[in-house]
Amino acid sequence: GNSVTQMEGPVTLSEEAFLTINCTYTATGYPSLFWYVQYPGEGLQLLLKATKADDKGSNKGFEATYRKETTSFHLEKGSVQVSDSAVYFCALSDPSGSARQLTFGSGTQLTVLP
Amino acid sequence: DAGVTQSPTHLIKTRGQHVTLRCSPISGHKSVSWYQQVLGQGPQFIFQYYEKEERGRGNFPDRFSARQFPNYSSELNVNALLLGDSALYLCASSLASTNQENTIYFGEGSWLTVV
């Protein structure tokens, strides 16, 4: 079956530090890959996505590249801000099924200190 | 435009009771999905409905059921509640059923506590 493995948290960084959150996946087909963010007390928001190999998703300074050869989709940001503190979820969607369902990783809590 | 709206936002139920959670998708969205998010974990897929038909079901017991109405809103029902059903229940909507280009949007969820 499909699965997503995320770097375990929590992760604590100082403002303006470089961020990497690792994500690897297992899928039977050619999935689409996503990063969702969950701010305290809120629902999930799509941060970025990539639908095919070598695609780079980017948004709000965050980037992730779909690497089929390493089955990875690591999230990076060059300079984090306090407002980036949240839980980040890597997810995949397998287009081969009849349903459009997301398979999520367990989430990585990020805290950015001023 | 309103996003995905869910109700109630918080509720407390006793073991053995039944609960109904409600979801209104973004206007124009015909696909609605439900996810369960236990504290400290990622969301787990429960159901997807598209055009009032069930398109997919996750690994949840028959105590969980759902339906979609002609206006595309949806209800999630859980019978015979267990303590382990305590979680954040998320509703998500998208334009179409399986098109990978369509973004899936989530509501803020309904917090269910079973005591």
Show residues of chain B in contact with A98, CB under 8 Å: 55-56, 98
Per-residue pLDDT band at B25 (split at 50, 70, 90): very high
Residues 60-99 of A with CB under 8 A from B: 89, 91, 93, 95, 97-99
Say what the alpha-carbon torsion angle B56, B59, B61, B62 is, to the nearest 10 degrees: 20
**Chain segment A95-110, per-residue pLDDT in tens:** 766 667 899 999 999 9
Judged by CB atoms closer than 8 Å, whether chains meet at A99 and B41 is answered as no
Give me B10's structure tokens.
């918080």
pLDDT band at A75 (very low <50, low <70, confident <90, very high): very high
State the smallest CA–CA distance between residue A103 and chain B in angstroms. 7
CB-CB contact of B6 with B108 (8 Å) = yes
Whether A14 has a pLDDT exceeding 70, the answer reads yes
Q: What is the mean pLDDT of chain B?
A: 93
Mean of per-residue pLDDT scores for chain A: 93
Asked if A19 reaches chain B (Cβ–Cβ under 8 Å), the answer is no
Residue A89 confidence (pLDDT) above 70: yes
Position B97 pLDDT exceeds 80: no
Q: How far is it, in rounded angstroms, from Cα A53 to Cα B74?
A: 35
> Out of B55, B99, B103, whose CB is closest to A46?
B103
Q: Quick one: three-class SS letters along chain A?
A: CCEEEECCCCEEEECCCCEEECEEEECCCCCEEEEEEECCCCCEEEEEEECCCCCEEEECCEEEECECCCCECCEEECCCCHHHCEEEEEEEECCCCCCCCEEECCCEEEEEEC
